[in-house]
Amino acid sequence: MTTPVPRRYAAAALLALLIPATGWAQAAYPDKPIQVILPLQAGSASDVAVRFVTERLSEALKQTVAVENVTGAAGLIGVDRLAKAKPDGYTLAALNNSILTILPNIQKDKVKFDPFADFVPIAGIANIPTLLGVSKDVPAKNVQELLALAKAKPGELNYSSGGPGSPQHLATEMFMAMSGVKLTHVPYKGAQQAATDLAAGQVQVMFIAHSLALPHLPSGRVKPIAFAGDTRSTAFPDLPTVAESGVPGYNYASWIALFAPKGTPDDVIAGLRTEVAKILARPELAQRLSGAGLELWSVPHDKLGQAIRDDFARWQQVVKTANISAN
């Protein structure tokens, strides 16, 4: 004869059967590969920095974290992909300040995203030191000599960039507006090709990332004549800034950071922030970045949000004062 099961035990057994069908049945994040959209060319300075971090993130999460280079329209195609992505933690993006804080100020008709509301900051990754470089045959050893040469031959000196609206283009536009010189723009489909042609002497001038200049510095095929930031680079302590060299107030800085689309679950965001912070705290990462001509920029999400606001306001004023265009 079967002993009847008391009602309280039967209810508990039924609840135990129901629980896996609800929240507990959800697999722990991540249970499939994560895609990181990078709206910049493979081999670019940002690409190098992002891949250093995603390699370690793959190890930490025990899941593939794949970088996809989505180029075009100065990065707007890639950032649009992030804005429209399902906010489930499986689509992230690495975005630079040119995309988030400069393009919205100079291409208002083309920018469809809100840099403050559409993305959730995870962490800053790296600073990208930028040099003002000239090809070896340019008879200028400093900014003053370059300005004199450009003024003597208006429009005859060419400068290369990774394309309209790229960091190199915008840095040069600001330089021309603040110095009163005219250089002719030669846009490429990526910064790497632009750097290669600078070294080959096909173009004469480029605001070039230190990482892209590295292969060409020992031969002297690319000559750095100034640093673009507001303070001297630790890698080039004897190299003056552009501002020191005769263009007062000039300051071009570039950074890359990791973001998720708005609406991504809070627990997923918190977990990603924790893991990325651990990765950025590893001494070997700073060493790898430095060896590649980059600088660690381990900025937590709250300070990253403030950096975006500060950069946006600064460029809003610069664009208005210098009448900079991305065309």
**∠ CA 296-162-54, rounded to 5°:** 35
236, two tokens:
């080039």
Give the span between the Cα atoms of 138 and 149, in whole angstroms.
9
pLDDT in tens, the chain (327 residues): 444 545 544 444 444 444 444 332 345 899 999 999 999 888 888 999 999 999 999 999 999 999 999 988 888 999 999 999 999 999 999 999 999 998 999 888 889 899 999 999 999 999 999 999 999 999 999 999 999 999 999 999 999 999 888 889 989 999 999 999 999 999 998 899 999 999 999 999 999 999 999 999 999 999 999 999 999 998 899 999 999 999 999 999 899 999 999 999 999 999 999 999 999 999 999 999 999 999 999 999 999 999 999 999 988 988 888 777 766
Say what the pLDDT of residue 273 is: 97
What's the pLDDT at 136? Answer: 96
DSSP letter string over 61-103?
HTS-EEEEE---GGGHHHHHHHHHS-SSSSEEEEEEHIIIIIH
What is the per-residue burial (b if ≥16 Cβ within 10 Å, else e) of 293-306? bbbbbbbebeebee
Vertex 213 angle, CA 210 and 206, to 5°: 90
Enter the pTM of the model.
Answer: 0.82
pLDDT at site 286 = 92
Per-residue confidence (pLDDT) for residue 15, from 0 to 100: 45
- The span from the CA of 83 to the CA of 296, in Å, is 26
Burial class (CB in 10 A: 0-12, 13-18, 19+), 209: buried
pLDDT at 319: 85
Supply the pLDDT for residue 27: 58
